[in-house]
Structure 1
Amino acid sequence: MPALKRDITLIGGIGQMSTTLLGTGLFMVPAIAASIAGPDMLWAWWLLIIAVCPIAFTFAALGKRYPNAGGASYFVKQAFGSRLEKAVALLFISVIPVGVPAAIAIAGGFAQQLLPQALSQPLIAQLCVIALLMLVNFSGSKVSSQLQTFIAVGIVLLVAVFVGFGQLSIADTLPHSLPTDNLLPIGQAIAVMFWCFVGIEAFAHMGEEFKRPERDYPIAILVGCLIAGTVYYLFSAVILKHHAFGTAELNTTSVPYLADKLLGSGLSGIISLTGFLACFATINLYTQSLSRMIWSLAREYRPSSSMAQVSRNGVPTQATIIVGVTLVLSCVFGELSHIDIEVFLTLANGIFVLIYLFAMLSAVKLLTGKAKSLAVFSTLLCVLVLCSIGLLMSYALVLLIVFFWLVPSIKPRG
């Protein structure tokens, strides 16, 4: 049976996990959340990080016990059977029309500043991003993890520079009111900020490609989440102190705004390059994850098909091509629809929260002892985040119901 190469080391895994969480989110979510909740955004970060930690621990426990390219859907299969597995897999794939356009649009915006004038149109820049994605993906997971480790170091250094030149004090990093005073805007901010921690479920698809998955995979998840949470929190404090938020335009250009204000305009090229690489890192892992989910389903249900084969670099070729074509179509849709990015983010977050919820429910059934108790707690936290999204959660719920009832039961065959 075809198998993926085990090329990912512990350091490479930490780099991949942290850059996935620090990608597009760093360049828009803190400013959008600040516009919603103001200084109380800091409380939202505390609450969200507290909620994410047990979820990350549970994903780590599942990945250690069930390392598989199917990721969360594979966990669901082990707990609830193949029908729900396929529904969750399709739900993950369905994030492309709502989540990917926002991510690639931001990456394309940075790319426009780096490309020649003839290629600096928004849609052309986005297509160039996809072409680069395909090049990196076909190079194999080892090259991809090394690239993302390099990007992770660059992002952390960038935020460290902002913290230093922004003269951030300890007082600037602490909330100055009680969270009970503004629960509604804090909840609304969390609904958007959850985007910053989507990627744990995507990283679950990479467990099979670790050299030592039993040891390194859970460590990579936990350390990656800790690095990302710290960087987000400090950067949010900088945004609040220097008022780099408030309008739709400023919310999506907070990083260039801070760079000009704190460092001067001479570094705009470096900021654009860092922004592009950070966004690219997130999209890169999702491209890998989506292709591996398609390949995993083909390997299980149609193992003799060409879809289930891998290249010499251990890459699922046909599945990667399918994802690339879908990304092109999604970019065209995103460019033509002109839907607000905040709406895109919240709809995508609804899908991710639902996937997290089913992964936690699977953990409740599959794990034992303290891990099982933590999974129960994580399930309750997912329900609370789900409630914070409100009516926009109906998009994900309707999709799941449609997938569950309309996708026929497929039996594995050789």
Structure 2
Amino acid sequence: MAQLKQEITLISGIGQLSTTLLGTGLFMIPAIAAGIAGQLSLLAWLLLFIAICPIALTFAALGKRYPNAGGTAYFVRQAFNERLETSVAWLFVSVIPVGVPAAVALAGGFAQQLLPAPFNTSLMAQFFTVALLVLVNLMGSKSSGRLQTVIALSIFTLVGSFIWKADIGTQDITFPAITSESVWAVGAALGVMFWCFVGIEAFAHMGEEFKNPQRDFPIAIIAGCFVAGAVYWACSVVILKLGAYGSPEFDATSIPWITQQLFGDGLKVVISILGFLACFASLNLYTQSLSRMIWAQARQHRPDSHMAKLSRQGVPYVATFAIGFVVLVSCSFGEMSGLDLEFFLKLANGIFVLVYLLAMLAAYQLLTGASKYIAAVSLVLCVLVFVCLGWSMLYAVSIFTLLSLPWQKWLKKTKPQTNIE
């Protein structure tokens, strides 16, 4: 049976997760959160870090005990049954036509500024991003991990230079007094900030490719979350000090504006490149995880199919090309239909939170001791977030319900029975 190559190290694992969690969020979420809660957004970040710890610890415990390319679907199978595993797997795959194209559009916005005419159109920039995603994925997880580590170091350097140039002091990290009105503002900011830590579930699919999954996988999750959280918090401090928030324009351009204020116009191209790479890093891990999910299902149910084949680099290349094709079609549809980008993101968020919820439910069933209690806390947190999603959770619930119906059993009943005499 074909096996993925074990070539992810601890450092590259931390680099992959941290850049995935930062991704597009770094260029939008700190400014949006600051606009909602002001200086208290710093407190909201700390509360979010505390809340995300049990979820990260639970994924770390699951990945350590069950390193498998199937990720959450595999955890669900171990806890419950094979049919539910298949439903979870295809639930995760269902994010391809709604979530991935939305992220590609965000990355394409940065790429558009770098491409020459006539290739600097929105659709061409998205096609370029998808083609680059497929190419990097085909190179294997080792090369991909190195690239994302370089991207992570570049992001850390940028935010570090902000802290140095903005002359941040202790007075810039103090919290104002909390009132009854500010509590609601902090809660609203938390609802926005949660999406900065959507990505841990995708990283769970990479556990099988770690050189030492039992030791390095849980450390990579905890360290990756800590690094990403520290970068978000530091970036928020700079945004608050310089006042780069409070308007729709700042929601998407706070980082370029801060760079211009601190360093002048000379770094415009650098910011465009870094913005594209940050978005690309997040997309890259999701493309990897989705291809491995499809491959893991094929390996289990149809081991002789093309989807179950690996390239010489140990990459599920057929699944990677299939994802690239679906994303290209979805990007074309989204561009021609003019559907709102935020609409797609909300649908994708519903799927991600439901996947988190199901992973925590499996963890509560599988884990023992302190890990079981941590999983219980994580499950409650995920349920609360899922309820807060409102109408956008209906897409995830509808897809999961349809996938969970006994279609194979019904199809067998509808087939004509032949009697052999």
TM-score (norm 2): 0.93
Letter of the structure 1 residue corresponding to residue 326 of structure 2:
T
Q: Give CA deviations for 1:106-137 in whole Å, capped at 9, x if unaligned.
A: 21111112111221111101110111111100
Q: Give CA deviations for 1:69-121 in whole Å, capped at 9, x if unaligned.
A: 00011101111112221221122122223322332122111111211122111
Asked if the contact 1:73/1:86 (under 8 Å) is kept, the reply is yes
- Name the stretch that deviates more: 46-55 or 364-373: 46-55
Q: Where does residue 156 of structure 1 map in the other structure?
A: 156
Q: Where does residue 59 of structure 2 map in the other structure?
A: 59
Q: Where does residue 117 of structure 2 map in the other structure?
A: 117
Q: How does 1:130-279 map to 2 (within 5 A)?
A: 130-178=130-178, 180-279=180-279
1:342 offset after TM fit, Å? 4.1
Q: Give CA deviations for 1:148-170 in whole Å, capped at 9, x if unaligned.
A: 01111011111111122222223
Unaligned runs of 5+ in 2: 411-421
1:48 offset after TM fit, Å? 1.7
Q: Give CA deviations for 1:368-388 in whole Å, capped at 9, x if unaligned.
A: 111111111111111222233
Distance 1:366 1:288 in 2: 26
Q: Give the greater-gyration-radius structure (CA).
A: 2
Distance 2:188 2:369 in 1: 34
1:174 offset after TM fit, Å? 3.3
Q: Where does residue 22 of structure 1 map in the other structure?
A: 22
Q: Where does residue 384 of structure 1 map in the other structure?
A: 384
Q: Aligned with 2:98: secondary structure?
A: helix
Q: Where does residue 413 of structure 2 map in the other structure?
A: none
Q: Aligned with 1:171: secondary structure?
A: helix
Letter of the structure 2 residue corresponding to residue 20 of structure 1:
T
TM-score (norm 1): 0.94
Letter of the structure 2 residue corresponding to residue 168 of structure 1:
I
Give the direction of change, closer, same or farther, for the CA distance of 1:183–1:91 in structure 2 (3 Å limit).
farther
Letter of the structure 2 residue corresponding to residue 287 of structure 1:
T
Distance 2:95 2:185 in 1: 25
- Name the stretch that deviates more: 44-53 or 368-377: 44-53
Give the direction of change, closer, same or farther, for the CA distance of 1:245–1:301 in structure 2 (3 Å limit).
same
Q: How does 1:325-340 map to 2 (within 5 A)?
A: 325-340=325-340
Distance 2:409 2:275 in 1: 43
Q: Where does residue 348 of structure 1 map in the other structure?
A: 348
How many residue pairs match? The answer is 410
Q: Where does residue 364 of structure 1 map in the other structure?
A: 364
Letter of the structure 2 residue corresponding to residue 97 of structure 1:
P
Q: Give CA deviations for 1:303-344 in whole Å, capped at 9, x if unaligned.
A: 111211101000001110111011112222332344444444
Asked if the contact 2:28/2:253 (under 8 Å) is kept, the reply is yes
Distance 1:214 1:52 in 2: 21
Give the direction of change, closer, same or farther, for the CA distance of 1:407–1:180 in structure 2 (3 Å limit).
farther
Give the direction of change, closer, same or farther, for the CA distance of 1:267–1:300 in structure 2 (3 Å limit).
same
Asked if the contact 1:87/1:407 (under 8 Å) is kept, the reply is no
- Name the stretch that deviates more: 400-409 or 212-221: 400-409
Give the direction of change, closer, same or farther, for the CA distance of 1:331–1:139 in structure 2 (3 Å limit).
same
- Name the stretch that deviates more: 260-269 or 401-410: 401-410
Q: Aligned with 2:92: secondary structure?
A: helix
Q: How does 1:30-41 map to 2 (within 5 A)?
A: 30-41=30-41
Give the direction of change, closer, same or farther, for the CA distance of 1:80–1:49 in structure 2 (3 Å limit).
same
Give the direction of change, closer, same or farther, for the CA distance of 1:406–1:31 in structure 2 (3 Å limit).
farther
Q: Aligned with 1:314: secondary structure?
A: coil
Q: Where does residue 399 of structure 2 map in the other structure?
A: 399
Asked if the contact 1:195/1:345 (under 8 Å) is kept, the reply is no
Distance 1:375 1:328 in 2: 37
1:24 offset after TM fit, Å? 1.1
Distance 2:163 2:334 in 1: 34
Distance 1:320 1:180 in 2: 50
Asked if the contact 2:96/2:323 (under 8 Å) is kept, the reply is no
Letter of the structure 2 residue corresponding to residue 139 of structure 1:
M
Asked if the contact 2:311/2:317 (under 8 Å) is kept, the reply is yes
Asked if the contact 1:192/1:349 (under 8 Å) is kept, the reply is no
Letter of the structure 1 residue corresponding to residue 350 of structure 2:
G
Letter of the structure 2 residue corresponding to residue 125 of structure 1:
A
Q: Aligned with 1:96: secondary structure?
A: coil
Q: Where does residue 74 of structure 2 map in the other structure?
A: 74
Q: Where does residue 322 of structure 1 map in the other structure?
A: 322
Q: Aligned with 2:275: secondary structure?
A: helix
Give the direction of change, closer, same or farther, for the CA distance of 1:344–1:167 in structure 2 (3 Å limit).
farther
Q: Give CA deviations for 1:184-203 in whole Å, capped at 9, x if unaligned.
A: 44333323222211111000
Identity of aligned residues (%): 58
Asked if the contact 1:104/1:129 (under 8 Å) is kept, the reply is yes
Q: Give CA deviations for 1:203-248 in whole Å, capped at 9, x if unaligned.
A: 0000000111110111111100000001011112222222223333
1:175 offset after TM fit, Å? 2.8
Give the direction of change, closer, same or farther, for the CA distance of 1:220–1:171 in structure 2 (3 Å limit).
same
Give the direction of change, closer, same or farther, for the CA distance of 1:32–1:96 in structure 2 (3 Å limit).
farther
Unaligned runs of 5+ in 1: none
1:180 offset after TM fit, Å? 4.5
Asked if the contact 1:188/1:389 (under 8 Å) is kept, the reply is no
Give the direction of change, closer, same or farther, for the CA distance of 1:38–1:406 in structure 2 (3 Å limit).
farther
